[in-house]
Chains A and B, each alone.
Chain A
Amino acid sequence: MSAEQQERAVRCLVAKVGLDGHDRGAHVIARAFRDAGFEVVYSGLHRAPEDIVQAAVQEDVDVLGISILSGAHNTLVPKVIEGLEEYDAFDDTLVLVGGIIPDEDEDDLKELGVAEVFGPGTPMEETIEFIRNNVPERA
């Protein structure tokens, strides 16, 4: 209605999942997203896949960025995606993975529904630009 301003903001969940205590990268990403004007929810360390799903559903995020440096991505990411599907939240959530992911696994993750994988050294602008261009349109 009326001249009331819509105030849409891109909401992101930056998630650390599994037994991986390295979150410097996640912090840097969270701050860069904030400075890009996004609203960032940070999960904290050592979350189980179902915790991430709970947070993504409740916070109704547009973007879920999963940071994994432990090498367990092939186990953890599918669980997160299954959980999102269970809550009917997968279709309009942009799922990104960051961390150390071997090339051959990258294709498998994308097959699963991960929109993009960002490895070490990816310029921050590239990730932000990717989000801006790919944020799901919502009714």
Chain B
Amino acid sequence: MAGPDASAVADAPTLSEADAALVEDLLAGSHRALARVITKIENRTPGYRAIVSALHEHTGGADVVGITGSPGAGKSTLVDKLAAAYRERGDTVGVIAVDPSSPYTGGAVLGDRIRMGSNVGDMDVFFRSMSARGQLGGLSTATADAVKALDAFGKDLVVLETVGAGQNEVDVVRTADTVAVLVQPGSGDDVQTLKAGILEIGDVFVVNKADMDGAQRTVAELEEMVHRREGGTTGRDAGHHGATSTAPTGAGGSSSDHGDGDRAGGSGHSGSDPHAGDSDGSWTPDVLETVANTGEGVAALIETFDAHAAYLRESGRIAATERRRYAEEIRTLVRADVGSLATAEIERHGGIDRLAERVRDRETDPYAVAEAIVGPIADCVDEAADGDAGD
């Protein structure tokens, strides 16, 4: 006898009748159904997995842009302006904004919506706030699933907005095709702290509030760091094309002059093929300037997002990016499910507190307990594998 839920993990989940109708409504364009599906994903309502499974074949049409940055950098305001600009050119937009929740009460004030002033009343901008409900590693799964719902609904563009603080958020934003890291001027040492984890994931760096003092210096610092990254071991794409790109290429080199009316968004490349200068054709992150309040630089930012999307497609890297993303999703799901099995086993052995007390009393030790719990699960897996081999 396997664990209580072993069979539930095995096959593709089946849709209940009500959920099938919900999926149908979503695909037919019902806002209510879309909102309800995202709620089910967030709540992990029984059956949500079957819904996401059913949606999967309808996804792949949307460009997904992730926006991250420290609190106060202007993410929400920029997202608002981006959404408005995308709408202007006829694209439909979905936004998922993630806010932290209190670890004590679980409560949260989700304030990003307040900044969406340019898009109120426009139902073709679907804005959804999500809280990081202390889900251990599950947040990125929930947001990725919510993005799938928006994608399947038919949104041309999905923007994923999150505070760039910690691994959870980094995992979230990594589920996007294109990642923009937002920095505010005068961050000084803040820019240094970006190095740990955030810098590696940026495809575009944006110095927002570029009309403030110190913007030029922040741009210069970022550009220097981007090039150092080029020269050193590269970040997430290292597996695909090595760390061979060297030295500054055509990319970077802030060309922004003070007093130049075209200042915002004007740093760096303006050629038609800005990123082809690299020896191995890899992407060199742009450093752009925006003033989200006024919308300055937003058009240039969208151009860069489009350029990155085109680069992913034309270079064939989109396949590698997607494989990496789905691999991560599969791993997370499998880990979570195996974790659930293990949790159930721990309960069956009398609960974690009792086990800990027995270890404290020197009756047993942590390794022996782990063996006693995982051993039977491993045996079941072996048995099933043998059965498969015999077929």
Q: Which of B105-113, B249-257, B359-367 interfaces with chain A?
A: B105-113
How big is chain B's contact interface, by range?
35 or more
Picked from A1, A4, A47, A59, the residue with its CB within 8 Å of the CB of B35 is: A59
**Nearest Cβ on chain A to B265's Cβ, whole angstroms:** 27
Asked if B156 lies at the interface with its beta carbon under 8 angstroms from chain A, I say: no
Asked if A122 lies at the interface with its beta carbon under 8 angstroms from chain B, I say: no
A2 contacts which chain B residues (CB < 8 A)? 5, 8-9, 337, 340-341
Interface positions, chain B 133-165, Cβ under 8 Å from A, are 133, 135
Asked if A7 lies at the interface with its beta carbon under 8 angstroms from chain B, I say: yes
| Chain A residue at smallest Cβ distance from B102 | A34
Instruction: Scan A47-59; emit 1 where CB is below 8 A from any B CB, else 0.
Output: 1101100110111
Asked if A8 lies at the interface with its beta carbon under 8 angstroms from chain B, I say: yes
Q: Interface centre among B4, B5, B110, by most A CB within 10 Å?
A: B110
B9 contacts which chain A residues (CB < 8 A)? 1-2
Does B340 lie within 8 Å of A60, measured CB to CB? no
A50 contacts which chain B residues (CB < 8 A)? 121
Instruction: Scan A30-48; emit 1 where CB is below 8 A from any B CB, else 0.
Output: 1101111111111110011
Does A34 lie within 8 Å of B31, measured CB to CB? no
Does B128 lie within 8 Å of A40, measured CB to CB? no
How far apart are the CA atoms of A63 and B128 in the complex, in Å?
A: 16
B38 contacts which chain A residues (CB < 8 A)? 60
A35 contacts which chain B residues (CB < 8 A)? 102, 105, 107
Q: Which of B40-48, B56-64, B316-324, B374-382 interfaces with chain A?
A: B40-48
Does A60 lie within 8 Å of B107, measured CB to CB? no
Does B107 lie within 8 Å of A54, measured CB to CB? no
| Chain A residue at smallest Cβ distance from B126 | A58
Interface positions, chain A 1-23, Cβ under 8 Å from B, are 1-9, 11
Known contacts A1-B46, A34-B109, A48-B121; decide if A42 and B114 are in contact (CB<8 Å).
Answer: yes
Could you jot down 17 A-B contacts, CB within 8 Å?
A: A1-B5, A2-B5, A3-B4, A3-B344, A5-B44, A9-B42, A34-B108, A39-B108, A39-B129, A40-B108, A43-B113, A44-B113, A48-B121, A55-B113, A58-B35, A58-B128, A89-B32
Which 6 A-B pairs give the minimum distances between C-beta atoms? A60-B35, A44-B114, A34-B107, A2-B5, A3-B340, A51-B120
Q: Enumerate chain B interface residues (CB-CB to A < 8 A).
A: 4-5, 8-9, 13, 18, 31-32, 35-36, 38-39, 42-46, 49, 101-102, 105-111, 113-114, 117, 120-123, 126-129, 131, 133, 135, 336-337, 340-341, 343-344
Given contacts A2-B9, A39-B108, A57-B35, 18 further A-B contacts (CB under 8 A): A1-B46, A2-B5, A3-B344, A4-B340, A6-B46, A7-B135, A8-B45, A34-B108, A34-B109, A35-B105, A35-B107, A38-B107, A39-B107, A39-B129, A40-B107, A57-B31, A58-B35, A59-B127
